[in-house]
Structure formats: structure tokens, C-alpha cells
Amino acid sequence: MIGTLGPKGSYSEKAALQWNHKADLRFYDDIFDTVDALLRKEVECSIVPIENSLEGSITLTLDLLLEHQLKITGEVIVQIRHCLLSRGKPEDIKVIMSHPQGLSQCRKYIKNHFKEIEIRSSPSTSLSAKLASESKEIAAIASAESAKMYGLDILNENIQDVNENFTRFIVIGKTTPSPTGNDKTSIIVYLEKNRPGALYEILGEFAGRNIDLTRIESRPTKKILGDYVFYIDIKGHIEDKIIKETLTKIKGKVGMLKILGSYPAAK
């Protein structure tokens, strides 16, 4: 059983089926509930978005990875093609709804075509589509699959600001997959005491061993202003000797090193 963001027709469902097209899915209202379902052992794994190529990271997902003992066991990359869906005609629309990421990814389209229309956010694109099916005055920014699922017309398609729009989803589970030769390891680093060159020193451990960093991002610890943790993705598996040695070296130089998991990189 896989937990994912619902209702049916969400991009999270698409990611889950891309991960395992035969899986039984259980839908949850938001990212928090989807992760909590795994913690409560309602599902074997959960799939949630972590970053988008246009809008950047999903901060709630990052915060949950820091707050809980979660293990990343895989990743899925889904191309996002937003459509404007409605039961009515363009002139009937009084409200446009979508997930905050969907609204942000279609900012220019909304401004150019529906400047005076009320904009509302919802927990998922598919919930927006479901609500749009109940009123001709509501339009949803969601997938073409949602249009079929909720009996909506596609008024316009590919309305995202940039055509090359991708979202990376992570699979959160319980076990660490074996090395495949094309893996990633995700970690969180907290320096504790900031000093000149502290982050540079940590990054130098990777650079000195020719370890490729595919992503680095800071997030506030929420303790005091200016206090940060760093989320880092590196190429390689925790069982690789060079990765293991490097992380051991880094652990002695930081206040906290949290290994989120090693998993096959999405193709």
C-alpha cells in the first residue's frame, strides 16, 4: 500500500503509479497526512513532492524530513503539464483554484487571461478539479487526467509559464535499497557553530574526493534568526567506501549529520 496526495487524479498519484503501476494507493488530504500515514504504519511507503523545476523546493516536505525519522528509498520525476479545467465557459469563471505550486507555475497565464478573477489555493490540484466539477463558476488548474476523472472540459492546456516543468517526488519507506551503480544519498547537515569557512570546509570534503553534489539548499532551523540546516544530495550510495569515509569525516566537523537515505537515482 502506497500513501499519496489525493484525491484521485493528482500528480502525486501519477508519480506513485510511475513508481509502481500495480500498487494499491491510499489517498490523503495533504503532505502532512501522507507522511503521517507512514509513521502510523497505515501504508508501506509514501510518495510526496520535494522540488519543482520552476518553483523550487516544497518546504513542508523538507521540514518533515528534519523533524521525523524518515528514510528516502526512491525518487520519481514527473513532467507537469497544467490545464485549465471547468464545466463552464471562460466567461462563466469567477474563481480559479489549484495547489499553491500549480498557481505559482501558471502565474503569467493567470495574469494575462484572468487578471480580475479570484484565486484560491487548495491542498491538491485534483481536489481543485473535484470542486470545479460542482460549479461552472470554478475553474481548476490540474492535469488532463483530472478532466476525464471529474467530467471537466479542458479550456486550455500546457498553461505553465515554462514548458519544461518537472516535479521530483521522493518515496519514503523503511528499508535502504541495495546499490545499483546509479544512486543518490541525501543528508541533512547542521553546522551548530557558524564560523568563516565552515560550510566551505564541509563541501571541500566532497570536492577533494570528486564526489558530485546534485543539490544543496539551506532551511531555517526555526530556533533563532540566521540559524540554518543544509540539505545535500550527493551521487553515490552509503555502502560505497568513498561515501562512507567522507560522511564519517564530516560527522566529526558538524553539530548534526542526518542520513536520509541512499536510493536509485531517477532516470
Which residues are known catalytic residues?
Answer: 167, 169
For the chain, what is the radius of gyration of the CA atoms? 20
**Nine-digit cell string for 58:** 516544497
25: left (phi over 0), alpha (psi -120 to 50) or beta: beta
Angstrom distance (rounded) from CA 85 to CA 157 = 9
**Nine-digit cell string for 150:** 471529474
- Minimal CA–CA distance to 35: which of 171, 167, 168, 220? 171
Angstrom distance (rounded) from CA 159 to CA 251 = 45
Q: Which three-class secondary structure string do you get for 164-226?
A: CCEEEEEEEECCCCCCCCCEEEEEEEECCCCCCCHHHHHHHHHHCCCCCEEEEEEEECCCCCC
- Minimal CA–CA distance to 266: which of 55, 71, 19, 59? 19
Angstrom distance (rounded) from CA 200 to CA 21 = 42
